[in-house]
């Protein structure tokens, strides 16, 4: 496969209806939860990407069988105590932070040791955030400086804990909740709010979870050791994938798009709130609740009067994967200065995404200042590019690749060469073909 996307023309106006693939967070959660159910679970519209396939292969190594059919994916769960594998079995999480963090929870009661590995990007990421609560619950963990590869062995006596989750990380919260499933007694988490798909799936399966919301914290309590049967699920479209098309449309003259059946769980819609405040013309239509998750159609139009914004840091976790796209494109083209604070978490993603944003803005000639993880971007609505741009060495970060394509198609310039095209296989394998269907010229 060709590894560089070459773009030398802006996209022309379009008016189209699209669908984006299934949500990555929900797909991975479905697989992990189905592995602990008793009997067969079936998911429709599961995302077919590398992160999701790595989750299926990981469970296969733990003795969980699956089938990928034309229209669905079946998983044959073995209940809370059914995993069966040899000592020192190796699991490779590839690029997926979500799989790597959540699988600790699934392994809380494993009898044998697992060696958890990942790709170069994942090997650079810090796992102390899940190691700390898992040690408290009794797991045996050996690592070099909290980095992969990590050796994980469960305990016969998992302990319920009361944990204060102060990062606002859904991966940490979900890891604890999955471990709590196999733990007698009540596990409690006082958490800074983050995406709520695990809790929603627990509720959908009628598992005994209680959540109280108080100001800026959520108090979650969960009583473990309840078996549940295999279940059916339909996975909604991924708002993180839809975001690239929302921003493309906001910045493309006289264009309009309708994105069907997207997950609009309020813990994920920070981008919509931010863009609307910036004068983005976006409407949410046909909202409904399905299998415990909110889904809707997102309609979006060219928005010529974008203005700078002061982003409330409380929204960060609701837009965590979309912030770089907003900064590099929308804030760059907006009228006025944009401010964002407390962006430290962006440094812990597939690459240091805050560093990427600064490098990118500099490359396209937009002034930006970063101090103590706070960011100030001086937007320029008249930004006209005429250089040759090369985007490379970004740790094959799928979202950095895709935002660079949207930049090339909306900001212009003589040419853009964007490396590591195959990074899209992580989360959005048909990204290029969807762009081409809208009329984008990419070589
Ligand atoms: C995810 C949570 C977020 C997000 C990641 C997916 C999840 O990470 O950035 O892409 O599925 O739980 P954190 O929980 O570390 O913020």
Residues of the chain with pLDDT under 70: 1-2
Please calculate the CA angle 284-191-55 and round it to the nearest 5 degrees. 70
State the burial class of residue 263 (Cβ atoms within 10 Å of its Cβ: 0-12, 13-18, 19+).
Answer: buried
Q: Which residue's C-alpha comes closest to atom 11 of ligand 1?
A: 25
Predicted pLDDT at 215: 81
The answer to whether 179 touches 154, Cβ cutoff 8 Å, is: no
Q: What is the pLDDT of residue 2?
A: 58
Mutation probe of ligand 1 site: the residue of 194, 423, 427, 428 with most atoms within 8 A of C-beta? 194
170: CA distance to ligand 1 center in Å? 6
Q: Using CA positions, which residue lies closest to atom 15 of ligand 1? A: 169
Q: Which residues pair with 7 in a beta bridge?
A: 416
Torsion 26-31-37-43 (CA) sign: positive
Give residues with Cβ within 8 angstroms of 418, minimum separation 6.
4, 5, 6, 7, 391, 392, 401, 404, 405, 408
Q: Which atom of ligand 1 is least distant from the CA of 171?
A: 14
How would you classify the pairing of strands 388-391 and 89-92?
Answer: unpaired
User: How far is Cα 305 from Cα 121, in angstroms, rounded to an integer?
Assistant: 38
**Atom 10 of ligand 1: nearest residue by CA position:** 321
Distance 23 CA to ligand 1 centre (A): 12
Token code pair at residue 437: 């269907």
Residue 292 has which token pair? 């415990």
**pLDDT digits over 5-27, tens only?**
999 999 999 999 999 999 999 99
* Residue-by-residue DSSP string for 154-189: --SS----EEEE-S--HHHHHHHHHHHHTSSSEEEE
Asked if 274 contacts 37 with a C-beta cutoff of 8 angstroms, the reply is no
* Residue carrying the six token digits 């070459």: 6
Contacts of 297 (CB under 8 A, 6+ apart): 258, 259, 260, 261, 262, 284, 285, 286
Strands (E), 335-441: 337-340, 368-371, 374-378, 388-391, 415-418
Please give the backbone phi and psi of residue 400, each rounded to the nearest 5 degrees, phi first: -70, -40
Residue 266 per-residue DSSP state: T
Those residues with Cβ within 8 angstroms of residue 263's Cβ, 6 or more apart along the chain or in another chain: 23, 26, 236, 237, 238, 239, 293, 294, 295
Query: Could you give the domains of the chain?
Result: 5-22+236-437 (3.65.10.10), 24-223 (3.65.10.10)
Ligand 1 neighbours (beta carbon < 6 A): 25, 98, 169-171, 174, 194-195, 320-321, 345
pLDDT in tens, 283-299: 999 999 999 999 999 99
What CA–CA distance (Å, rounded) separates 49 from 220? 31
Q: Which helix (H) or strand (E) holds 72?
A: strand 72-78
φ/ψ bin of 313: left (φ > 0), alpha (ψ from -120 to 50), beta (otherwise): alpha
Question: What are the residue numbers of the active site?
Answer: 321
pLDDT tens by residue, 112-156:
999 999 999 999 999 999 999 999 999 999 999 999 999 999 999
Q: How far apart are CA 368 and CA 391, in angstroms?
A: 18
Cα–Cα distance measured from residue 279 to residue 306, given in angstroms and rounded to the nearest whole number: 5
| Beta-carbon count within 10 A of 317 CB | 20
- Which of 171, 199, 354 most suits a substitution to test ligand 1, by most atoms within 8 Å of the C-beta? 171
* Alpha-carbon torsion, ordered 417, 422, 425, 431, to 10 deg: 30
DSSP secondary structure string for all residues of 307-357: B--B--GGGGGGGTTTHHHIIIIIIHHSBSEEEE---GGGGGSSS-HHHHH
Among 28, 36, 23, CA closest to 205: 36
């Amino acid at each position: 496969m060709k590894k560089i996307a070459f773009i030398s023309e802006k996209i022309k106006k379009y008016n189209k209806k699209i669908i984006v693939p299934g949500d990555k967070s929900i797909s991975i959660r479905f697989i992990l939860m189905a592995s602990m159910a008793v009997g067969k679970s079936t998911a429709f519209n599961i995302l077919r990407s590398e992160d999701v396939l790595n989750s299926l292969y990981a469970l296969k190594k733990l003795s969980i069988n699956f089938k990928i059919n034309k229209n669905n994916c079946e998983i044959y769960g073995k209940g809370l105590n059914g995993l069966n594998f040899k000592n020192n079995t190796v699991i490779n999480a590839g690029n997926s932070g979500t799989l790597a963090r959540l699988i600790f929870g699934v392994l809380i009661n494993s009898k044998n040791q697992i060696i958890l590995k990942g790709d170069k990007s994942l090997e650079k990421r810090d796992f102390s955030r899940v190691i700390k609560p898992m040690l408290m619950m009794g797991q045996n963990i050996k690592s070099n400086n909290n980095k992969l590869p990590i050796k994980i062995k469960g305990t016969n006596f998992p302990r319920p804990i009361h944990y204060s989750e102060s990062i606002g990380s859904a991966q940490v919260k979900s890891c604890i909740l999955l471990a709590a499933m196999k733990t007698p007694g009540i596990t409690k988490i006082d958490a800074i709010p983050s995406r709520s798909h695990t809790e929603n799936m627990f509720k959908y399966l009628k598992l005994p979870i209680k959540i109280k919301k108080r100001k800026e914290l959520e108090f979650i309590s969960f009583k473990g050791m309840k078996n549940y049967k295999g279940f059916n699920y339909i996975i909604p479209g991924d708002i993180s994938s839809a975001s690239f098309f929302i921003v493309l449309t906001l910045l493309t003259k006289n264009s309009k798009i309708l994105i069907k059946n997207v997950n609009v769980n309020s813990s994920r819609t920070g981008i919509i709130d931010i863009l609307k405040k910036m004068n983005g013309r976006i409407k949410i239509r046909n909202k409904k609740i399905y299998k415990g998750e909110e889904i809707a159609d997102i309609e979006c139009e060219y928005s010529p009067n974008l203005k700078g914004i002061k982003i409330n840091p409380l929204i960060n976790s609701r837009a965590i994967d979309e912030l770089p796209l907003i900064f590099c494109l929308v804030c760059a083209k907006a009228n006025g200065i944009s401010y964002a604070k407390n962006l430290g978490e962006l440094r812990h993603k597939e690459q240091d995404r805050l560093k990427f944003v600064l490098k990118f803005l500099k490359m396209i000639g937009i002034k930006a200042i970063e101090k103590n993880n706070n960011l100030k971007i001086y937007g320029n609505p008249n930004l006209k590019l005429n250089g040759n741009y090369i985007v490379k060495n970004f740790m094959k970060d799928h979202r950095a690749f895709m935002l660079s394509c949207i930049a090339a198609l909306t900001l212009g310039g003589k040419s853009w060469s964007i490396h590591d095209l195959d990074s899209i296989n992580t989360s959005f394998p048909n990204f290029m073909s969807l762009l081409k269907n809208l009329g984008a010229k990419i070589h």
